[in-house]
Homo-oligomer: A and B are copies of this chain.
């Protein structure tokens, strides 16, 4: 049964808890024992081996079996598809592959036996319709032959998942850049092992990692890398009584929708309940599963987690879901989109504060009743900035005349209704026009706009405001007065895999173009299963008003990231992008993580993928280049990596992704 209900409705897999069991040839009993004991699923050896009396032998190896016998009983088993129904197998049992398997042994016979056994056991699990199999930890530091066999299997596997068991360990003295021989003897960062596997198997979506949490934990940055990896499962030992760090880690894993499996024998006093001899009484109230205390502890940790805040609940369904950025200049927004964005009260109260400060700066208290400030809202939409500006005027007791300029004729209809409904006719003039073409009847003191995208300038705020600047007084104020984009390198295995399938279903035409498209596009996405590998750095800054004769909106920025030193090696799938805007003076607005405006939901981050993930060793800087390019009909970004080694140039001439003017 699930660990509990979390307020706010975490419907993720982490509600379920499994248990790793010893081999038992009575699978129905094993299952009933553990499910009644409170677990949601078991990880069970299916296939422990074969000996002449039809008992299972965990040390079974194909080459040790008499030839004739092995031929007639090719598949030793722990329970056929008759002892449990297919739905029981598939919903409650994860297959555990024989742990003696060692595909990279120096012993050639052992290697060959291992390959035969691995293929047989996975074929059997697949026949039973299991959802997943747990694969044994690679034995040494080399894993190429193991990966080669898995990759062969993955090419022909149905929908079953393979979970590769990896211990969560990393020696801290191994962050030395001078030993790049990571596959050599000195290798003891288990993430390296996983990374090699995943690269050799080309990020196969059915291959995930099952982390074994050991008693000592590596550094926080090193552990954080795993948050960017495909769904894994924590194999928690040593409950109850985890250290504070282990508790925090477990909570962080829950937060990333990761399941827990309890493994091993009880090593603590069990406060209540019967001994293991009472197994057969498992229907009775007095009986407790021997690991029940551990399960209760996990449930306790789960239930005591803070409830999801409202914003997280709202955004839950968007986690790691890739969306194309808006094309606000080319497309008109729909009413629903306006409505969603208008609900962001935090954003508009920041705007109101900014307009209020600007009004006070613009008009002294003495002149408050005599001077009327001219304010233009460019891109007024259905009027939220008009409302915020009027409220700012009321709050500061300044006189205000507003022009609300909007290019979308559908929004203008709503705007007219709003003005009439609110009785703003005296103060608000509606202009149905593209701000870049409007001939304003007078010049403005204050220009207010909300044209920013997730990456700041990516919805062409610079180009629009350059056009609008014509009707701003020379000493006029633009709100926002400036904005800056930021990026940081991330491990984002799920996003990378989500971009990849888009490639393979792309229709035919000029292949070289179609294939690139999705890897050269920026996506708006609520980042969740992501490892952030370095602090953000600023990319492009735009300031308004600006001396237009001197500057263009083209930009070029070279950035050097130093991966956090206790991380170890890492794999960069792309860059998370954010913005921060100064609305007016100290009033800012933004999603850059370290300074993000709380409880604002209008923007998710942006994600710039890399066509080929970049492997970075400790101590090696990551050098990245971003360009903002402007053509006559479009604006686009190009990006590349030049260190540790050069990538391909992405999105040359905006061939894959651009924003239309």
Contacts and interface: CB of A to CB of B under 8 A. Distances in A.
Interface in A536-580: 552, 554, 556, 558
A183 B144 contact: no
User: Which 6 residue pairs are nearest across A and B when measured between Cβ atoms?
Assistant: A508-B508, A199-B646, A615-B645, A196-B646, A144-B625, A151-B649
A181 B621 contact: yes
A643 B511 contact: no
Interface string A127-143: 00000000000000010
Given A178-B178, A180-B644, A199-B647, 20 more contacts: A112-B554, A144-B642, A147-B649, A148-B638, A152-B652, A152-B653, A155-B655, A177-B178, A177-B180, A180-B619, A181-B620, A183-B642, A196-B646, A200-B642, A200-B648, A202-B649, A504-B511, A508-B511, A511-B511, A615-B646
B145 A200 contact: no
A313 to B, nearest CB: 38
Interface in A167-209: 177-178, 180-183, 195-197, 199-202
A560 B612 CA distance: 24
Contacts of A201: 649
A623 interface: yes
A617 B642 CA distance: 14
Most buried by B among A111, A147, A195: A147
A147 B155 CA distance: 38
A196 B623 CA distance: 12
A46 to B, nearest CB: 24
A660 B650 CA distance: 40
A552 B649 CA distance: 46
Contacts of A196: 642, 645-646
Interface string A57-84: 0000000000000000000000000000
Nearest to A506: B511
A638 B145 CA distance: 10
A445 interface: no
24 contacts: A111-B556, A142-B558, A144-B558, A144-B642, A145-B556, A145-B627, A148-B625, A148-B640, A151-B649, A151-B652, A155-B655, A181-B643, A183-B643, A199-B645, A199-B646, A199-B647, A199-B648, A200-B646, A202-B649, A503-B512, A504-B510, A504-B511, A508-B508, A511-B515
Contacts of A612: 612
A156 interface: yes
A561 to B, nearest CB: 13
A200 B649 contact: yes
A148 B624 CA distance: 13
A625 B145 contact: yes
A185 to B, nearest CB: 12
A542 to B, nearest CB: 15
A640 B627 CA distance: 34
B653 A182 contact: no
A507 B178 CA distance: 46
Contacts of A112: 552, 554
B627 A148 contact: yes
A620 B620 CA distance: 14
Contacts of A647: 199-200
A572 to B, nearest CB: 12
Interface in A512-549: 512, 515
Interface string A92-135: 00000000000000000001100000000000000000000000
B182 A643 contact: yes
Contacts of A652: 148, 151-152, 155
Contacts of A197: 646
A512 B178 CA distance: 37
A145 B506 CA distance: 31
A658 B404 CA distance: 69
Contacts of A515: 511, 515
Nearest to A178: B178
A470 to B, nearest CB: 21
A500 B348 CA distance: 53
Contacts of A181: 620-621, 643
A552 B144 CA distance: 20
A202 B270 CA distance: 63
Contacts of A512: 503-504
A558 B617 CA distance: 23
A507 B182 CA distance: 40
Contacts of A640: 144, 147-148, 200
A144 to B, nearest CB: 4
Contacts of A510: 504
A104 to B, nearest CB: 9
Nearest to A621: B181
Interface in A600-652: 612, 615, 617, 619-621, 623, 625, 627, 638, 640, 642-649, 652
Contacts of A653: 152, 155-156
Contacts of A648: 199-200, 202
Contacts of A558: 142, 144
Nearest to A508: B508
A182 B641 CA distance: 13
A270 B645 CA distance: 47
Most buried by B among A180, A510, A620: A180
Contacts of A145: 556, 625, 627
A142 B643 CA distance: 11
A182 B615 CA distance: 16
B156 A649 contact: no
A325 to B, nearest CB: 22
Nearest to A644: B180
